[in-house]
Structure 1
Amino acid sequence: MTATKDARSTPTTRSSAGRWLHDHALLIVSLAIFLACLGGMIASGLQVYNDDQLAHGSAAVPLGEYLRSGDFIEAMFENWESEFLQMGAYVVLTIFLFQKGSSESKPIGQRIPQDEDPRSAKDDPDAPWPVRRGGLALVLYENSLAIFFFLLFGLSLWLHAVGGAEAYSAEQAEHGLPGVTTLEYLGTAQFWFESMQNWQSEFLAVAAIVGASVYLRQRGSPESKPVATPHHETGD
């Protein structure tokens, strides 16, 4: 009994690889799910694309050709565009806007560490390099998260337009109509329909988590307030 108790009380030692996986599991699992869903999108999209090709009397295409097609590029980046817009807008909106009782809002009327001016830490040897450097490097760094998401949004929006223009032009050609350039496609109702149908769902999801986190809880999740916290308390 004593030997068994001692063995059970001995802490388990993780290997360095195991500890790295444990410490980065949220990112790794999210990327793994992304890759699995991307693979499913490619496989099913290729089938749908080739079914449409055959229905119109054209030959089926191999995977490589499908991945270069306007249909695939438009479908891929139409969705990425809305995700990056949502995240960039959420990062910026939560700087200035509040929701009483929500775990997604900063506390009302209180300063939090994220509000502090990093210039006061310029002599801290452990501070990130831009903080110690100051000037333009710090200005860019202290806004780098929003900049990152809006750059990805802009790139995705452009690639959505590139792929969409190709797919739209191919469909126009089937009806004996002229195609469009990428810039012309940006002015079509089709482009904005594709964008808005995704944007509206992203901001609905934001509103849902902001509002639901006032009254609902998920034990163990940092996206939720502690289960016993009163509804009126705002922030973590």
Structure 2
Amino acid sequence: MRRLRDHGLALVFGGLLLMALVGQALWGLAGVNGDARDKGLQTIGLGEYLTSSSFAVDIAENWQSEYLQFLLFILLTVWFVQKGSPESKPLDKTGRESDEDQKVGRWAQPDSPRWAVVDGWRRSVYSHSLGLTMLVIFVGSWSAQFIAGHASHNSELIRDLKAPEGWGQYALDPDFWSRTLQNWQSEFLAVATMVVFSIYLRERGSPESKPVGEPHGSTGVEG
């Protein structure tokens, strides 16, 4: 039970992710088959839908926008601050900070990660490992969206007796950029509102909120 408690947040979100994926698969299949019946086309099974470009592009376009949000938030909060927000660093802590502040090299603690202690490329890589990982996942999921979206878009064109588009054409196609930008704008809005709302609003006990009685102007303080 203690191990479940120690990893409860990851387990809960993992369970929610799984339920959402199952729900998306079932309702997505229902929608695709509904459209097929309306057009007098053959319906498909769940397995065929799960391996289709239509399902893949829906998954990838959401994942890439989420990881873009994380990537930008991680990088921008290094240099930019927001007075009063717990999502910001203290106003005098902009930049990469000193080795002492970051507890690396000779300022490392006994239980610090090994790569935080050593000099050279390993410490440099580890110092940016979170941003690099988010970048790789973002690029990978956006590439998957592009590939799956291209296949799905051409399937629709062929079904409508139109000529399919090449890679270059699809890269400039409204379908690709509409799918992309409608997700990006929602992520930017969500982050901006979280940063600003957390200046004045509270959620008792949450590390994403300041303590209930903390002044509005306090910056980088978490509950």
**TM-score if structure 2 supplies the norm length?**
0.92
Find the counterpart in structure 2 of residue 154 from structure 1.
139
Moved over 3 A (4+): 110-115, 181-184
Q: Aligned to 1:118, which of 95, 104, 110? A: 104
Alignment partners' CA distance in 2, 1:180 and 1:20: 52
Find the counterpart in structure 2 of residue 97 from structure 1.
80
Change in Cα spacing, 1:109 to 1:198, as seen in structure 2 (3 Å) is: same
| Cα deviations by residue, 1:181-207 (Å, 9 ceiling, x for unpaired) | 445422212111101001000010000
Q: Does 1:42 align with 2:42?
A: no
Find the counterpart in structure 1 of residue 12 from structure 2.
29
Find the counterpart in structure 1 of residue 123 from structure 2.
138
Unaligned runs of 5+ in 2: none
Aligned residue identity for 2:88? S
Unaligned runs of 5+ in 1: 1-17
Q: Does 1:174 align with 2:159?
A: yes
Identical columns (%): 38
Aligned residue identity for 1:188? D
Find the counterpart in structure 2 of residue 193 from structure 1.
178
Q: State how many pairs are aligned.
A: 218
Alignment partners' CA distance in 2, 1:182 and 1:134: 44
Larger Rg: 1
Find the counterpart in structure 2 of residue 9 from structure 1.
none
Alignment partners' CA distance in 1, 2:166 and 2:106: 50
Spell out the pairing of 1:76-91 with structure 2 (5 A cutoff): 76-91=59-74
| Cα deviations by residue, 1:69-119 (Å, 9 ceiling, x for unpaired) | 111011010000100000111011111000000111111114889952622
Alignment partners' CA distance in 2, 1:48 and 1:213: 38
Backbone CA RMSD of aligned residues = 1.8
Q: Aligned to 1:232, which of 201, 217, 220? A: 217
Find the counterpart in structure 2 of residue 11 from structure 1.
none
Aligned residue identity for 1:120? R
Alignment partners' CA distance in 1, 2:117 and 2:89: 27
Q: Does 1:205 align with 2:162?
A: no
Spell out the pairing of 1:218-229 with structure 2 (5 A cutoff): 218-229=203-214
